[in-house]
Structure 1
Amino acid sequence: MISATRRWFRRNRTPIAVGMGVVGAGYLATQYVIGKINDARERMSSDRIAKENLRRRFEQNQEDCTFTVLALLPTATTNIIEAMNTEQITYEIQQMKGSGKTSKNSTDSTATPPSIADTAMTEDDGKSAVGSMQSESGVHASQITVPPAGTPSGEGAQDGGQQLQPVPPKPRRTKRQLWDDLKISSITRAFTLIYTLSLLTLFTRIQLNLLGRRSYLSSVISLATGSNSGGISLENHDDNLSPEHAYGGDLDTNHKYLAFSWWLLNRGWVSLQARIESAVREVFGHLSPRETLTYEAFSQLALQVRKKVEGETTEERRKAAWLPFLLPPREMENEMLAESGILDSGKPSAIDSSNSSNPPQVRKLLDETSDLIESPVFHHVLTLLLDAGFAVLVENKLAQGVFELPPPENAAAEPLQATRAVLLPRILSVLTRQAHVVGSGSVPNEYLVAMEQVPDLNAFSAVVYSANWQSEIAAADASAMGTADEVLGASAAKSMKAEAVAAAASLNRSRGLGDMEESAVFVDAESDFESAWAKAAGGGS
């Protein structure tokens, strides 16, 4: 039996060998295919997790931006309202009206009445206008805090907030002068707050998205070096000073960088208000309180102010300088940090303008922020945010609250109402009240909500968040580049690059001629978006 079996194997050894080879090859092929499928599944899962982490971190960053703006806005609002105290001017007009009545009752019946040359309104017009200001703005004489008689700061604040030192008391102003001051103050204050809110929104997006990108890379490098075995974290480990977190920066770096928002809230708005006030005086200066305006006329006047502030021609818009309103000159950085409380102002070296105390990481963040602010993309998105803010003020609050126009969806029902003219004081009363609404830090702020609904704002944020990450890694630690490339190349790099390309495409489409025609101040249709993208991305996409 055994010998027969041996003879059978000897006769069939070739077919048996071939069969075993086929079975072995099939097994190896099967294992290879299964391995490839598992690898592909792991890569897909890793990419999906990386994209989800990136998306969640980005969305969380934008929510943080919203709450940060609402937290910072009241500081600027308080400064602007104190500098342009429209309610105080209204109180003085009411006081003058009351004293005029008392004087008239105490004089002889044959006495000469007050000269109309001292005021732009008749007595009847004055009653109706002041009554309108009192009823529509909701401000009564008993609700206004009057500064002490010996305090000259109130007068200086009414003229634009430029007087930072005590000045001698000014002579008593006539009713015409008070109405002119009221007109300029109410319009300038409302417009200044809209510009401040738009700039603060964009500046906060730049700051938090730059820090968010660095924090994300910090988590990626921690995962690559094995110090974080739990995956890419959604938290900011700003208090972790280990080398793995050098990309995200330490707590001191982040605090110093974020402290630069102090400049716009306390200094930058002053220069911005001066530019806006100059434009308002030039456009609205010739109007008297007895003037009547239609909705179309006021819209055109507001548009003229915007063109003078932002630039009327393409070249002027390109040269519009917003950087001085947002960041201080380099020689004043230490002084600003000391005033904001970050540096110890008690040390003489802390505020030495000739010796910058900013570490290299802060300087790099400030330089990249400056490049973004000076890029054409920033000017384009800022124009769209201003369009949204002025649309709420002019097309909603004034159109429906003053001119009693129907909502846009019902505009065709009553087209004749667009020709209705109202007295200028009614418009000023709404602007006075809306200034407090624009600068409100409560949730929701409808002006901020309208600005955040601009699609290009999120696209711009995605550009900031997703771009320049390769140079960030190379500059931070060249030795970790190989490991970081392995991690980023498999998951995060693909997601961040896709996010950047999608954001750039969205911005590129929005700069088309069709979309630009909807803007109150047009954006240059012929400018090359690629140059703006290269500047915003820093060549690191």
Structure 2
Amino acid sequence: MIAATRGWFRRNRTPLTVGVGVIGAGYVVTQYVLGKISAARERMSSDRIARENLRRRFEQNQEDCTFTVLALLPTATDNILQELQTERITFELQQQKAAKLARDGEPHPSELGSGPPSVTDDDGRSMASLQSESGVHASQMGIPSATSAGDGPQDGGQQAQRLRRTKVQLWNDLKISSITRSFTLIYTLALLTLLTRIQLNLLGRRSYLSSVVSLATGGMEQSTITLENHDDDNPDQAYGNDFETNRQYLTFSWWLLHRGWRQVMLKVEAAVKEVFGSLSIRDEISMHKFSDLTLQVRMKVEGATDAERKAGRWLEFLLPPKDQEDFVLKESGMTTESSSTAASGNTPLRRLLDETSDLIDSPPFSHVLTLLLDAGFSTLVERKVSEQAFKIPPTSDVPDLNAPRITEIVDVKPVRLPAVLAILSRQAHSIGNGVPNEYLQSMEQVRDLEAFAAVVYSSNWESEISPMNEESSALFTQEDGPAGPEIVAADSGSNAGTGQESIVDVGAASAFESAWGKAVDHGAEPVSS
């Protein structure tokens, strides 16, 4: 039997060899495929976790931006309200009116509305309307009463003419001041919102890249990128590994809060005088005309065409010139020994300031700023002024910023100009100190603002990686893909001591404008969806 078995194996040697080879090859291929499938699953799981981590970090960054704007805005508001004291002008007009009533022997200002209409009565009603609707009484200004305004020798017609001329001048000052103040606050709020988004997203990008580089080089024991910064536990880990540089960089918002707003105000004031200067305080104004005049002011400040708006330069309002950078650091309390040279040379602070300047001078910045201003002025003109001055009922609790309704209303009754000025005077306080701030909320509803923040968060990765860790920069590659940071792969099986591989897809186009276009097209999907 043994001989027969040997003979059978000898006769079927070739088929048996082929069969064993096929089975062995099949086993090897099966194990290889199963290994690849397992690795792919781990890679997909790591990619999903990394995307979720990145999305949460980005969203947290945007919430930080909102709170930061709300914390900084009162500083600029106080400066603007102190410079444009509309309530003080109102008080001076009330003093003049009280003095005239005392000379004429009239009993009390409350009786201004009695009797036949006259120029004097119109002024009294305008003043009463301004005082009642603005919500700020002149006595709240803390100005002592000047009851002696009407004392002294009366010079008949000459004194009346001089008084009338002064009154007209005060009314004109009140008109320019109230309009300029509310418009300046909207511009300041929009600029502060964009500057804060740039600053915190640049630092958020540095923090994220620092975590990735530490993970790639084995500097972190855990196998995932940390979400929390733990600022209170370890300040050196806040927004990267250079807390002092980050602190100095953030203090450059001081320029807008203490210097830039004034330049904005002067620019807005010149446009307001040119557009609204011809209006008399006794004129009636329609909603459509006021909206049109507001648009004319914006065109003079921002530019009349799309090309002019893109060519507009807002850098001088947001950041100081280089020869004033040390002054800003000193005024904001950065008086360390290294502060005088921190913003010079090839320091991290210098790179952050240069990149911020490039972002501010880019066309996408002007585009997003225009959209933010559209939202702010829409809230002021098409909601507050229309509803409170022209008594136009709101169409919805949640306004559609892309569907203006005021221009479609042609049968709204005109109102006296002081009624509009009263609303603007009151809204100035809401723009700067409103809780909740409806103007900031309307600006944050602009979809392109998040796209802009996503581009800032994800652009210029290569130059940021190199200063952090030149040895780790080889781990980062540039592949085709949508704009935005994306973790493509993380080899969890590699030894932490030899470096954990991590590939970051930063998008094929490194130019800011190209990344901006992709972010708008995709709605910033890599970080916000």
TM score, norm. by length of structure 2: 0.80
- Residue 294 to residue 316, structure 1, CA distance change in 2 (3 Å): same
Q: Any idea what SS the aligned residue of 2:281 has?
A: coil
Aligned counterpart in structure 1 of residue 362 of structure 2, from 354, 369, 375: 375
Identity %: 58
Matches within 5 A, 1:142-541: 142-146=139-143, 174-230=166-222, 231-236=224-229, 248-344=240-336, 360-408=347-395, 418-440=411-433, 442=435, 444-485=436-477, 490=489, 496-497=506-507, 504-507=517-520
Extract unaligned runs of 5+ from structure 1: 108-120, 150-170, 511-541
Cα displacement (A) at 1:56: 1.1
Aligned counterpart in structure 1 of residue 131 of structure 2, from 127, 131, 134: 134
- Residue 336 to residue 416, structure 1, CA distance change in 2 (3 Å): closer
Q: How many residues matched?
A: 468
Cα distance in structure 2, aligned partners of 1:190 and 1:210: 30
What's the RMSD between the two structures over aligned residues?
3.4
- Residue 48 to residue 393, structure 1, CA distance change in 2 (3 Å): same
Structure 1 contact 334–343 (Cα < 8 Å) conserved: no
Structure 1 contact 51–495 (Cα < 8 Å) conserved: no
Structure 1 contact 295–418 (Cα < 8 Å) conserved: no
Structure 1 contact 74–441 (Cα < 8 Å) conserved: no
Structure 2 contact 207–239 (Cα < 8 Å) conserved: yes
Q: Any idea what SS the aligned residue of 1:497 has?
A: coil
1:122-145, CA deviations, whole angstroms, 9 ceiling, x for partnerless residues? 211122111111211122233332
Q: Any idea what SS the aligned residue of 2:105 has?
A: helix
- Counterpart amino acid of residue 333 in structure 1: E
1:359-385, CA deviations, whole angstroms, 9 ceiling, x for partnerless residues? 710100100100110111111111111
Match of 1:159 in 2: none
Cα distance in structure 1, aligned partners of 2:219 and 2:235: 13
- Counterpart amino acid of residue 86 in structure 1: T
Extract unaligned runs of 5+ from structure 2: 108-117, 147-162, 479-485, 491-501, 524-529
Q: Any idea what SS the aligned residue of 1:288 has?
A: coil
| Structure 1 range deviating more: 173-182 or 292-301 | 173-182
Cα distance in structure 1, aligned partners of 2:125 and 2:334: 52
Q: Any idea what SS the aligned residue of 1:309 has?
A: helix
Match of 1:83 in 2: 83
Cα displacement (A) at 1:15: 4.1
Q: Any idea what SS the aligned residue of 1:490 has?
A: strand
Q: Any idea what SS the aligned residue of 2:80 has?
A: helix
Structure 1 contact 269–325 (Cα < 8 Å) conserved: yes
Cα distance in structure 2, aligned partners of 1:247 and 1:388: 31
Match of 1:93 in 2: 93
Match of 2:65 in 1: 65
Cα distance in structure 1, aligned partners of 2:230 and 2:305: 46
TM score, norm. by length of structure 1: 0.79
Cα displacement (A) at 1:16: 3.9
- Counterpart amino acid of residue 41 in structure 2: R
